[in-house]
Structures are given as structure tokens and as C-alpha cells.
Amino acid sequence: MQGLSSRAHAFSVEALVGKTIKRMKKENGKDTSSPGDTETETSSVRQETYEHDDPNDQRRKAGNTPRRLGECDSEPGREERTRTGDSDSNPGREEREVRVELQGSDLWTRFHEIGTEMIITKAGRRMFPSLRVKVRNLDPCQQYYIAMDVLPVDSKRYRYVYHSSQWMVAGNTDHSCIAPRLYMHPDSPCVGETWMRQVISFDRVKLTNNEMEDKGHIILQSMHKYKPRVHVIRHNPRLDLSKIPSLPTEGMASFSFPETEFTTVTAYQNQQITKLKIDRNPFAKGFRDPGRNR
């Protein structure tokens, strides 16, 4: 009887252990095809704990995660934003936004208040004022391209009304026949530290109305309104941006300034613009009155 009682007690303990393991598997959503295998159960729990908690394993996995062009090591997945301050909110993480500041903005504003006009010719004419900028918040060791293009403000054609001294809409136009050209700054590519130390000038850019031009000038249509844009592009060793005409889709930030908008002309329409250009353009000394007090 005593031996029978001992076997019964052992059987009840084994049954209790089996029920406990079944309950644990059910709660964890596991298959119960092998109830009572306590050693196998313990091994699987240990393996799950190792895979979940091992910090070295987590670091190895993170180190193998591929990054897209334009992502920063300290801020993965964050896009660079424009100078307007638009940024993705990310509490608890310091944001670094690339910023571009227009140089000579006072002169641009004076022209803009009158109505800036830019001469375009078959041979190409340089802009005045020229576009000059300062760039901030670049990665000092990362290489960048700095580029510029000019886009239409709208799909309108304009004419100048002399008795009211203002530009008026003369009709609609189609810009699709002229693909925007990208002017790459000749110092590109260069590391961020070098770009941030200097004023970046686009004084060599020329505007033309010759649609067959092949020297890299920016092709525009006369009597239309345009605005220049500046692009900061992360260097991608897989691409030679100096040989492609269009902008990449990643790793780029674009900037424009309302005061730099202008109307293209083959001859100045507004006499105030003519006077201001002569007064302020250092290359227009021959048009100045030598007897006038400057």
C-alpha cells in the first residue's frame, strides 16, 4: 500500500507539471504537440531570452541596416529641409537643417520693388545682381555639389505698359518645350567645411534665348517671369552629377528667394531698372556720367 501511495503521488506531481507546461504554452501562443518535455521547453525559453536580450546581437543587426543616399549617421531617415524652417518634428532628437542665406539681399530687394529685369541674348548675358549665397549646417567632412537652375514663376507671358510703368499679363505660354538646365558650380564637389567658409557665387551663369545653345547657358524665353533656385546635393560616388542634366531624387535640398524673381527682356523696359543697373553694376562704368557726383 505504501508503494502504491508513492507511485500515485509521483503520478499526480507529474500530471501537475504537465498541466503547468501546457498552460504556459497556451498563454505564449505555442504549439502543445509535445506536452511534458520540460527539458526541451526550458531550452527553447533560454534561446528566446538570448535572442531578445543580447545587446551585441542587436548592435550587429543595426550595423547591417542599409542607408539611403542623403541620410545622416546621427539622424537616419531625416530629410534636409529648406531655409523656411520646415522640418519633421522629432522630439528628443537634435535636428540639423541645411540653411542657405542670400547675400546682397538689400540690393535684390531694391530691384524687386521696382520689378527686376534680366537681359537675355543669343550669345548669353550674365545676371546682375548675380546670385550669391552662404551655406550653413553641412557635414564638414561630407562632399557636396552646389548647383543652380531657373524655373518659371507661372505659365504667363507679360508685356510692359509704359503709361502705368508696370508689367501686365499678355497671355498664356507653354514652358514644356524648354527643359530646365542645371548649372553646376565649378568648385563641385567639395567638402562641407570648404563650402561653409566661403561666399558661393554664381556670377558666371549666363542667360540666353537661343534654344539650340550648347555651351551650358540657361535657356529662357523673353517676357516671362522666372526665379532662380540653389540646390545642395550630397555627393554620391555612384553618380557623376557634373554629367547629368537633371536633379537627383534623394540627398538634396533646394532653396529659393522671392526677392530674386525677375522678368526676362531683350532690352530694359523700365527706365528705373536701367538707372539702377548702371549705378550699381561695376561692369557698367562706361555708361555713367563722369561729371555726376556719385
DSSP string covering 209-270, please? --TT--SSPEE--TT-EEEEEEEEEE--TT--GGG-SS--SSSEEEEE-GGG-EEEESS---
Alpha carbon of residue 275 to chain centroid: 38
Contacts of residue 166, Cβ cutoff 8 Å, sequence gap at least 6: 115, 160
Q: What is the pLDDT of residue 10?
A: 47
Cell 503547468, residue located:
20
Mean pLDDT of the chain: 75
Query: Distance (Å, rounded) from C-alpha 62 to C-alpha 73?
Result: 12
More confident position, 77 or 229: 229
Q: What is the pLDDT of residue 286?
A: 61
Query: Distance (Å, rounded) from C-alpha 181 to C-alpha 246?
Result: 7
pLDDT at position 254 over 80: yes
Against a cut of 0.85, is the pTM above it?
A: no
Would you call 61 helix, strand, or coil by DSSP?
Answer: helix
Residue 261, all three cell numbers: 524673381
pLDDT at position 278 over 50: yes
Q: What is the pLDDT of residue 162?
A: 92
Q: What is the pLDDT of residue 47?
A: 42
pLDDT at position 199 over 50: yes
More confident position, 18 or 141: 141
Q: What is the pLDDT of residue 284?
A: 72
Distances (CA, A) of 266 to 80, 216, 252, 271: 38, 20, 34, 14
Query: Distance (Å, rounded) from C-alpha 72 to C-alpha 67?
Result: 9
Q: What is the pLDDT of residue 80?
A: 34
More confident position, 150 or 245: 150
Mean local confidence (pLDDT), 70-85: 35
More confident position, 92 or 157: 157
Q: What is the pLDDT of residues 98-121, one digit of tens each?
A: 999 999 999 999 999 999 999 999
Would you call 157 helix, strand, or coil by DSSP?
Answer: strand
Average the pLDDT over each of 34-48, 152-166, 218-232, 277-291 and give the range with the smallest value.
Answer: 34-48
Ramachandran assignment for 206, one of left (phi > 0), alpha (psi -120 to 50 degrees), beta (any other): beta
Task: Residue 264: name the closest of 214, 212, 213, 207 by CA.
Answer: 207
> How far apart, in Å, do the first and last CA atoms of the chain sit?
127
Domain boundaries, the chain: 99-287
Angle between helices 2-27 and 38-53 (to 10 degrees): 30
> β-strands 200-201, 132-136: how paired?
antiparallel
149 by Cβ neighbours in 10 Å (0-12 / 13-18 / 19+) ranks as buried
Query: Distance (Å, rounded) from C-alpha 77 to C-alpha 67?
Result: 8
Would you call 156 helix, strand, or coil by DSSP?
Answer: strand
Query: Distance (Å, rounded) from C-alpha 6 to C-alpha 140?
Result: 79
Average the pLDDT over each of 44-58, 149-163, 226-240, 250-264 and give the range with the smallest value.
Answer: 44-58
Q: What is the pLDDT of residue 82?
A: 36
**Phi/psi at 272 (5° precision):** -65, -35
Distances (CA, A) of 131 to 111, 158, 204: 13, 23, 10
pLDDT at position 79 over 50: no
Mean local confidence (pLDDT), 137-160: 95
Which pLDDT band holds residue 245 (cuts at 50, 70, 90)? Answer: low
- What CATH class has 99-287? mainly beta
> β-strands 117-119, 262-265: how paired?
parallel
